[in-house]
Amino acid sequence: MRMVDLIAKKRDGGTHSREELRFIVDGFTGGDIPDYQMSAFLMSVFYKGMEDGETAALTQLMAQSGEMVDLSSIEGVKVDKHSTGGVGDKTTLIAAPIAAACGVKIAKMSGRGLGFTGGTVDKLESIPGFRTELPRQEFLEIVKKTGICVIGQSGNLAPADKKIYALRDVTATVDSIPLIAASIMSKKIAAGNDCILLDVKTGSGAFMKEMEDAVKLADIMVRIGEKAGRRTMALITNMDIPLGRAIGNVSEVREAVETLRGRGPADLSAVCRELAANMIALAGGGEIERCRELAAKAMEDGSAFQKLREMVKAQGGDVSVIDDPESFPKAGIAHEVLAPQDGYLSAMDAAQCGIASMLLGAGRATKESVIDHSAGIELVKKTGEPVKKGEVIARFMTNDESAIAGAEETYGNALSFSAEPPVQEKLIIARVT
């Protein structure tokens, strides 16, 4: 087999066999296929797409390029949850403890934030002492003991994806549905859970700006998961505005705790309850209505909050900040952003809000950037709410005075105002099974 022939085949709209895809994945991961040939192949896929069977085979091959995590020593049904990424998305910190409180086993590997999106591992690391890197045996033991453990992704999980993603990032080939589906699902399959709940975001702060694309991505990922023997489902949820009122690591953990105590923002509470209910349903909890009731009860009776507490303790974190979130370290500067006019806040571009937060120090411009856990934005006003000129609409938290002007300009550009209240968008848009 020659790579040049396989590139030409895809360029001309052909369909690759599993053996041909194996040649490509193994060859590139092993260093026999150079970046320039792989780039040409990826661009051909970008333009010509892939058949579903090809995407599923590519996913399996990428998953098998590294460690396939074995969770079989943990009794019960292990359910993973994956969000395609967003702004203010702290749902894992809430939905996973709710599901765990209802008996679902959570043995989860999460990622870090990049660009305007945040990552669960960064949020967890804002809890003093919290360990996101654990020896495999300790990870398994914590799940067996407490029912929940969330750590960073193992370095050897789907190494083919790591290498291919790095090349996609610099060759303008990230935005391809089969490549995104294979990338996400290869890691999910390698992570070893029995069931997978996908939270596919759509809107201004999501990878998939259009609903139709989000549904297409969800649909192919669900089929790949099922084909790999994992019960898989997806929710399509709104990421046109940030979720909740907190962006930034410490503030998001604080908001997650408040939400688990029943004092969270309505949008965040509703999305987390639905995610948790679907995780419970995947684990065999029965009809979705019953699972919704179980999730709501775990939030109301404090058992979900206790699960988060147990997890933080087991992973070395300082539980006192969970008990009293006001005791989290605070940023040195709190800068108030004022409304430039009267009216209704009619739209907030979530990606721009995420970039403003990143400029304040909460996110990473590049993989190497160091983040400031205390930095971020409190969204005092959100889409749909009335504002008066000069009223506080947001609060910036930062330790970098020089970042404020740029962040304020970016944040200002994210907002639109109207004389009439805007139409409220749906939060949970569809369920793909």
Task: Indicate whether 275 belongs to the interface with ligand URA (CB under 6 A).
Answer: no
**Cβ contact 68:60 at 8 Å:** no
Which residue, 59 or 183, has its beta carbon nearer to ligand URA? 183
Task: Indicate whether 55 belongs to the interface with ligand URA (CB under 6 A).
Answer: no
Provide the minimum distance between the beta carbon of 155 and ligand URA in the complex, in angstroms, as a whole number.
15
Task: Indicate whether 398 belongs to the interface with ligand URA (CB under 6 A).
Answer: no
Helix (H) or strand (E) holding 143: helix 136-146
**Cβ contact 87:281 at 8 Å:** no
**Helices 52-63/211-227 angle, 10° precision:** 60
Helix locations, 261-301, DSSP H? 266-282, 288-300
Q: Which of 90, 105, 112, 187 is catalytic?
A: 187
Which residue, 180 or 347, has its beta carbon nearer to ligand URA? 180
- Nearest residue to ligand URA, scored by beta-carbon proximity: 183
Find the binder of ligand URA among 55, 60, 183, 249 (CB under 6 A). 183
Which residue, 89 or 378, has its beta carbon nearer to ligand URA? 89
Rounded-to-integer distance, Cα 369 and Cα 113, Å: 11
- Binding segment for ligand URA (CB under 6 A), chosen from 92-100, 114-122, 175-183, 336-344, is 175-183
Find the binder of ligand URA among 33, 58, 184, 198 (CB under 6 A). 184
Task: Indicate whether 153 belongs to the interface with ligand URA (CB under 6 A).
Answer: no
Rounded-to-integer distance, Cα 123 and Cα 85, Å: 14
- One-letter amino acid for residue 363 of the chain: G
Calculated CA dihedral for residues 245, 246, 247, 252, nearest 10 degrees:
-140
Provide the minimum distance between the beta carbon of 51 and ligand URA in the complex, in angstroms, as a whole number.
19
State both tokens at 336: 């108030």
Helix (H) or strand (E) holding 158: none
Find the binder of ligand URA among 177, 180, 220, 314 (CB under 6 A). 180
What would the x/- binding string for ligand URA be over residues 202 to 241, using CB under 6 A?
A: -----x----------------------------------
**Cβ contact 45:174 at 8 Å:** no
187 among known catalytic residues: yes
**Cβ contact 97:311 at 8 Å:** yes
In the window 377-396, what residues touch ligand URA (CB under 6 A)?
none
What's the burial of 263, exposed, middle or buried (CB within 10 Å: 0-12/13-18/19+)? exposed
Provide the minimum distance between the beta carbon of 165 and ligand URA in the complex, in angstroms, as a whole number.
6
The CB density around residue 402, as the number of other CB atoms within 10 Å, is: 8
Task: Indicate whether 348 belongs to the interface with ligand URA (CB under 6 A).
Answer: no
State both tokens at 356: 């403003």
- Binding segment for ligand URA (CB under 6 A), chosen from 71-79, 172-180, 217-225, 420-428, is 172-180
Task: Indicate whether 269 belongs to the interface with ligand URA (CB under 6 A).
Answer: no
Which residues are catalytically annotated? 82, 161, 168, 183, 187
What residues line the site for ligand URA (CB under 6 A)?
A: 165, 174, 179-180, 183-184, 207
